């Protein structure tokens, strides 16, 4: 009788392990476990030569195994793609949310800066208006003082001219001296 390792199909290990029973093929997907065919469709033991010499049965089992492994690989690939897409979507959504938050923060900061600049502009404009009013008041006062000084000088000059006219000796009319 042959050992299980000497069986033409051999032992299957890894992603899927094959067990045969009652003409059904089942797969154990626990990694690391191995299984060997226990009986064939006729109920023969693994060491029977009838199971080992039936090439069509071996091809059928191999085809089923290959089909199942391909199906498992496709399922796993689809799961990986789905997980990657979900992760990418989450990252994209997080990036969009972060960008929106930053845009809102930037907008608030800009609005605050505009408000501060507007306040500073209004304060400077008010200060300049006050300074202008003060200077215009000084100009008006200086003009008034100028007018007063002119009046005083005119009066003083007129008084002095009147004194000079009054103090002037009258000259004789005959022309003699």
Q: Is 58 domain-assigned?
A: no
Looking at the whole model, is its pTM more than 0.85? no
86 and 134 fall within a common domain = yes
Tell me whether residue 102 is exposed, middle or buried, using C-beta atoms within 10 angstroms of its C-beta: 0 to 12, 13 to 18, 19 or more.
exposed
117 and 157 fall within a common domain = yes
76 and 116 fall within a common domain = yes
List the beta bridge partners of residue 17.
28
> Could you read off the pLDDT of 73-107 as tens digits, one per residue?
999 999 999 999 999 999 999 999 999 999 999 99
Q: Is 95 domain-assigned?
A: yes
Domain that residue 126 falls in: 65-166
With 70 as the cut, is the pLDDT of residue 36 above it? no
Q: Which residue has the tokens 């796993």?
A: 76
Give the mean model confidence (pLDDT) for residues 4-19.
43
């Amino acid at each position: 009788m042959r050992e299980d390792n000497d069986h033409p199909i051999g032992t299957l290990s890894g992603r899927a392990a094959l067990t045969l029973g009652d003409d059904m093929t089942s797969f154990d997907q626990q990694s690391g476990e191995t299984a060997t065919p226990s009986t064939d469709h006729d109920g023969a033991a693994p060491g029977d030569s009838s199971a080992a010499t039936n090439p069509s049965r071996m091809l059928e089992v191999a085809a089923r195994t290959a089909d199942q492994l391909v199906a498992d690989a496709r399922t796993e690939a689809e799961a990986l793609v789905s997980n990657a897409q979900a992760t990418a979507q989450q990252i994209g959504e997080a990036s969009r949310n972060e960008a929106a938050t930053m845009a809102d923060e930037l907008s608030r900061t800009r609005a605050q800066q505009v408000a501060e600049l507007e306040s500073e502009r209004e304060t400077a404009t008010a200060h300049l208006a006050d300074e202008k009013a003060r200077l215009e008041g000084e100009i008006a006062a200086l003009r008034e003082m100028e007018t007063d000084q002119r009046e005083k000088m005119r009066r003083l000059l007129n008084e002095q001219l009147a004194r000079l006219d009054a103090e002037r000796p009258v000259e004789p009319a005959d022309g003699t001296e």
